[in-house]
Structure 1
């Protein structure tokens, strides 16, 4: 019996995993000139998270914002490991790569 796992499920697993890591947030995908998606009257930007699947292997590209004062490489490595482990554990697919790009720095909560 074959079970098909959609890209949206893989994307949700990765996004949920990243939400559990303190000090990072999933960035918004940069928009190209003229590329504005409208939803409920306003522009909507998609998350900087892309899943590419080839057979039983998956590659994941992630864009993150990191809280100011945090260790960028440490959090990026933690994000890579957590996404890889959760996707493999939950789906049985092999993760070829989790490519993390830090797209921005945010202020800690409570700072204006």
Structure 2
């Protein structure tokens, strides 16, 4: 019995996993991507999160904003491990790589 897992489900698993890590957030997609999506009528804000699937293997590329004062390398590593574990656990697919790019620094939530 074959079960097909859509890219949007894989994207949601990765995004939800990352939302659970304190001190990071998935960055907004670059402006060019947002402009294209607006022109296509998508009201949903695009994120810097891309899933590439080749058969039973998945590669995740994610751009993160990290809270000022946090350890960038530590949080990036935590994000990589968590996304890899959750995608493999929930789908049975193998994660080849979770590529993290830190795109920005944000102020801590209490300082807004």
The alignment yields a C-alpha RMSD, in angstroms, of 2.2
Separation (CA, whole Å) in 1 of partners of 2:29 and 2:68: 20
Q: Which has the higher strand share?
A: 1
Separation (CA, whole Å) in 2 of partners of 1:59 and 1:105: 24
TM-score norm. by structure 1 comes to 0.91
Q: Which has the higher helix share?
A: 2
Q: Deviations over 1:19-45 (max 9, x none)?
A: 000000010011229935338x9x764
Query: Residues 1-112 of structure 1 correspond to what in structure 2 (within 5 A)?
Result: 1-32=1-32, 35-38=35-38, 45-112=45-112
TM-score norm. by structure 2 comes to 0.91
Assess, with a 3 A threshold, how the Cα gap between structure 1 residues 4 and 33 changes in structure 2: closer, same or farther: closer
Gapped regions of structure 1 (runs ≥ 5): none
Assess, with a 3 A threshold, how the Cα gap between structure 1 residues 44 and 92 changes in structure 2: closer, same or farther: closer
Q: Deviations over 1:55-76 (max 9, x none)?
A: 0000000000000000000000
Contact 1:64–1:100 under 8 Å retained in 2: yes
